[in-house]
Amino acid sequence: MSKAIIMFNPITHSNKGEENARKLEEIIKDKQLEFIDVTKIDDIEKYVSNIPEEDSIILCGGDGTLNYYVNHTTEETRKRKIGYFATGTGNDFLFDIGGKLGELQEDISKYLQNLPVVEVKGKKYNVLNGVGFGIDGYCCEIGDKERLKSDKAVNYTAIAIKGILFHYRPCTATVTVDGKTETYKNTWLVPAMNGRCYGGGMIATPNQKRFSDDKKVSLMVYRHWCNIIALIVFPKIFKGEHIKKTKIVTILEAKNARVVFDKPCALQIDGETILDVSEYTISA
């Protein structure tokens, strides 16, 4: 009997990663299951390359686990068929591709190839869903701190509301898209998106396509001088209706883009936080 190698992230969903991954025992009946903690694999590229072709691979976790996989494997390795069983909290990738919680995605390899590349502080990363810069990065920063204190699920919506009202201050953003530069004052966030969704269900760029013929990323500039108005419009992001507010939201499509803030703040790549960032560049 062939094997199914289940690579799970134990810390997802408030440290229920292995428990949720083992639900596959009720779904997969025709293979011998072997569970491995992905955080204990020293070289995931080498590990995956040594798995026999007749054995299947399934990745279990959330968007951060997917981010780890695409940034620790080569383009060639990512061509190999790999299943995905979402066990994260936000699961934006799953939502974006039309999947449902509790269902095994048989092969997601096509989504893991030819990814946009973002450069931050001189280091390059593959981007599966999106790059957040501004209040979204701030939310990840605060969320990381809360996780160190408690096993309770982080309420990012509450962090965002408190941030907009009291703690986070907008900045001036200089955005260069394919050689054309614009400056935006009172900017709250400027994510660059490969998919439509990030941040636990926010449909930041509802018209972005992962497989468009001209392969571009979408940037969403969200700005307003009044934090109350910024907060009132913000929930519309969860339905993608914020883009109708054209005095607040600007969508830009780009093959290459650079975003510079006039003060450093946190940035997140598929939920993974990088602190004290002043700028990023991204290439589709």
The pLDDT tens digits of the residues spanning 10-46 come to 988 878 899 999 999 999 988 999 999 999 999 999 9
Mean pLDDT of the chain, nearest integer: 93
Dihedral over alpha carbons 57, 195, 145, 231 (to 10 degrees): -150
* Predicted confidence (pLDDT) at residue 154 exceeds the cutoff of 80: no
> Does residue 194 contact residue 70 with C-beta atoms inside 8 Å?
no
Token output for 110: 């096509």
Strand residues in the chain grouped as ranges (E): 3-8, 32-37, 56-61, 83-86, 117-120, 123-126, 130-133, 171-177, 180-189, 192-193, 197-198, 202-203, 217-223, 249-254, 256-269, 272-283
Q: What is the pLDDT of residue 51?
A: 94
- Mean pLDDT within 230-256: 96
Residue 234 forms beta bridges with which residues?
none
Q: What is the pLDDT of residue 132?
A: 92
For the domain spanning 3-112, the CATH number is 3.40.50
Percent of the chain past pLDDT 70, that is, above it, reads 100
Residue 174 forms beta bridges with which residues?
183, 260
Between residues 240 and 148, the one the model is more confident about = 240
List the domain boundaries for the chain. Answer: 3-112, 117-283
* Predicted confidence (pLDDT) at residue 140 exceeds the cutoff of 90: no
- Residues 108-120: tens digit of each pLDDT: 999 999 999 999 9
Per-position DSSP letters for 184-208, written without gaps between them: EEEEEE--EESSSEETTTEES-TT-
Token output for 5: 């190698």
pLDDT band at 60 (very low <50, low <70, confident <90, very high): very high
Between residues 232 and 12, the one the model is more confident about = 232
- Mean pLDDT within 144-156: 80
* Predicted confidence (pLDDT) at residue 180 exceeds the cutoff of 80: yes
Percent of the chain past pLDDT 90, that is, above it, reads 81
Q: What is the pLDDT of residue 155?
A: 79
Give domain 117-283's CATH architecture.
Sandwich (2.60)
* Predicted confidence (pLDDT) at residue 1 exceeds the cutoff of 80: no
* Predicted confidence (pLDDT) at residue 152 exceeds the cutoff of 80: no
β-pairing verdict for 3-8 and 56-61: parallel
